[in-house]
């Protein structure tokens, strides 16, 4: 099966989406991965954006429930505390600039930012999912453009 995922056009799209859905890696890794696998830049971009966005509604809707469950186990509770502390640090910008701040946090293609972090921050700051989803989507779209430019140059935008 792995051979199919790396040898066919559809398989390469699915793998690019999967790489982009992974926290930390996100589309920062997905776009270059897709292009290295032979996908046109615009296909790698679209697959990466979609893949990066797939886990976000799930995070926005269920992260509090997962955190509550984790807090019931002391060995997992410290992970929740660390994630919440990280979210509060990042959340200062979001609190100041509201939805624009959330979009910017997601759009900056650096470690410690991105869609996963944006969803975490939105959850910890109790931003309703309906209000958080649009800034996160726009942040991912902008991040994808920035990653494409940084990786392949400004001329790559004409391939989109």
Query: What is the tens place of the pLDDT at every residue in 53-68?
Result: 999 999 999 988 988 8
Which has the higher per-residue pLDDT, 107 or 110? 107
Asked if the model's pLDDT at residue 69 lies above 70, the reply is yes
Which is nearest to 106 in space by CA: 95, 128, 92, 121?
121
Q: What is the pTM of this model?
A: 0.87
Name the region of 39 (left: φ>0; alpha: ψ -120 to 50; beta: rest): beta
What pLDDT score was predicted for residue 112? 81
Query: Is 33 within 8 Å of 15 (Cβ atoms)?
Result: yes
Q: Where are the domains of the chain?
A: 2-159
CA–CA separation, 31 and 17 (whole Å): 9
Which has the higher per-residue pLDDT, 34 or 95? 34
Of the candidate ranges 14-28, 38-52, 92-106, 119-133, the one whose mean pLDDT is the lowest: 92-106
What pLDDT score was predicted for residue 90? 72
Query: Is 4 within 8 Å of 14 (Cβ atoms)?
Result: no
CA–CA separation, 103 and 97 (whole Å): 10
Share of the chain above pLDDT 70, in %: 96
């Amino acid at each position: 099966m792995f051979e199919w995922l790396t040898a066919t056009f559809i398989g390469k799209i699915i793998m690019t989406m999967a790489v982009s859905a992974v926290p930390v890696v996100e589309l920062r890794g997905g776009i270059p991965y897709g292009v290295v696998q032979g996908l046109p830049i615009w296909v790698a971009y679209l697959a990466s954006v979609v893949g990066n966005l797939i886990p976000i509604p799930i995070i926005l809707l269920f992260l509090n429930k997962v955190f509550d469950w984790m807090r019931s186990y002391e060995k997992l509770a410290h992970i929740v505390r660390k994630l919440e502390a990280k979210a509060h640090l990042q959340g200062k910008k979001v609190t100041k600039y509201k939805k624009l701040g959330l979009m910017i946090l997601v759009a900056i293609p650096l470690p410690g930012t991105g869609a996963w972090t944006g969803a975490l921050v939105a959850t910890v700051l109790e931003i309703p999912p309906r209000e958080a989803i649009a800034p996160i989507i726009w942040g991912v779209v902008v991040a994808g453009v920035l990653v494409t430019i940084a990786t392949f140059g400004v001329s790559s935008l004409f391939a989109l």
